[in-house]
Amino acid sequence: MARETAINVLTYNIHKGYCSGNRRFVLDAIRERITETGADIVFLQEVHGRAEKSEARRRRFSYPDQPHFEYLAEQVWPHYAYARNAIYRKGDHGNAILSNYPILAWENIDVSIFPRSSRSILHGVIHLPQSDVRLHALCVHLGLLEQERKEQLQALAQRIEDHVPHDEPMILAGDFNDWRRRAERHLQLSLEMEELFVTLQGRHARTFPVWAPLFPVDRIYFRGLTPIACERLGEGHWRDLSDHAALLGRFEINRPKAPKR
């Protein structure tokens, strides 16, 4: 029996809609796969907002005419937020959150350290009507260099400390590029967050590269929720898509405590 107070979440670095070798544009297949998961909230990284292509290239690769996050959300997730990370002459890409539930507010926080490595935190506040609580959803894509990740993790921890009340549930998901597992000191010890796969399976899920996953760079952290299940999606048709595996999680929403009389 499905739990009325449970939510499914997915995080996925979609590699700008291309397959792992950049030979094929596979946004159609990505939309089909993520729709099949039944995720209520989707955290996306490396998704295009604007992407100018020639008419010949559009026909060849079947590029959608609309922003890619809108194309992915179409007819499935009525609510979404998009935050540009990288902006260039013919387009931009960044993080996106797709949601079955209303997004009450969202903000993009620039945590770029170097000019050529644009990074940000997309912080959305989602209303979960089945339990009448506010869920904080933070989608991140951190830098490749350890020094920039260190500063970005500090900024992320400060954002959570300043803007996420401790009695409101939170999910922090995305591509941390943290193969050395340094994020725990900032998130678990100081902010009392847990990582879904570590909690349920004893270790981080290895997600990159998808054809021979060695590095646990993609994560789902949480606070104020009860974890139920988790799954790494990197086999079968998923291997033909992005260079990252996707992560799927299921949580029970903790009902707010009744005020004391």
Q: What's the pLDDT tens digit per position in 56-95? A: 555 555 677 789 999 999 989 999 999 988 767 777 789 9
d(CA 158, CA 16) in angstroms, rounded, equals: 29
- 207, pLDDT greater than 80: yes
Q: What is the pLDDT of residue 260?
A: 53
- 62 close to 95: Cβ distance less than 8 angstroms: no
Q: What is the pLDDT of residue 1?
A: 40
The more confident residue out of 146 and 77 is: 77
Residue that the structure tokens 């997915």 belong to: 10
CATH code, 6-253: 3.60.10.10
What are the boundaries of each domain within the chain? Answer: 6-253
Q: What's the pLDDT tens digit per position in 101-127? A: 999 999 999 898 876 777 889 999 999
Mean pLDDT (whole number) for 193-215: 96
pLDDT bucket at 5, cuts 50 / 70 / 90: confident
Sequence-distant (≥ 6) Cβ neighbours of residue 56 within 8 angstroms = none
Q: What's the pLDDT tens digit per position in 18-30? A: 898 777 899 999 9
Enter the pTM of the model.
Answer: 0.92
